[in-house]
Amino acid sequence: MELSKTMKLDDGALVERAKSGDRTAFSQLVARHEDVVYRVCFRVLGSREDAEDAAQEAFVRAYKKLDGFEGRSSFKTWMVRLSMNVSLNERSKRKGTLPEAPMPAPAPDPERELLASEAAARVHGALQEIQPNYRAAISLRDLEGLSYKEVGESLDIAEGTARVWAHRGRAKLREALSE
């Protein structure tokens, strides 16, 4: 099947085609979700290189485990959960290494660019200080825009727990930023 036809299919149809061996369909799934997978990995790991490696590993695992995807959640939610698991496993292997500060997009005004860079580095550092479960809930809900239900599915917790973790995480983040 040509690429233009697979681009019109929803994720569910692409998953079914990929399960049948259609590599173009899986490539389209990767293209649709690579940005969110990378961002999730980056927010957990804090390093561009580590996030790229983890995102790649997440898609490799997804391809291998695709037959196990039952469609009880969206493919995006499943990928976010898989990405989170890969990233958390990688992070636990690398305890003690300091993550790099994120690089903001260039701004036309040098002063504004400096302020944005400092603010982003400060928020990134504060995020790294809070518990991983709270950081995950904040990242998925506030930065990726997932619903609390999707956050719960991604982290394999109840929707109410996702709400609590995000709320507590925001409080911890405010605390860390006020220090």
CA 126, CA 101: separation in Å to the nearest integer? 11
Q: What is the mean pLDDT of residues 120-127?
A: 77
The domain locations on the chain are 1-100, 101-179
**CATH class given for the domain over 1-100:** mainly alpha
CA 106, CA 109: separation in Å to the nearest integer? 9
pLDDT of 1 > 50? The answer is no
How much of the chain, in percent, has pLDDT values that exceed 90?
40
What pLDDT, on the 0 to 100 scale, is given for residue 99?
A: 47
pTM of the prediction?
0.68
What pLDDT, on the 0 to 100 scale, is given for residue 166?
A: 92
The band of 58, judged by pLDDT with boundaries at 50, 70 and 90, is: very high
CA angle 94, 100, 135 (to 5 degrees): 70
Q: Does domain 101-179 have CATH number 1.10.10.10?
A: yes
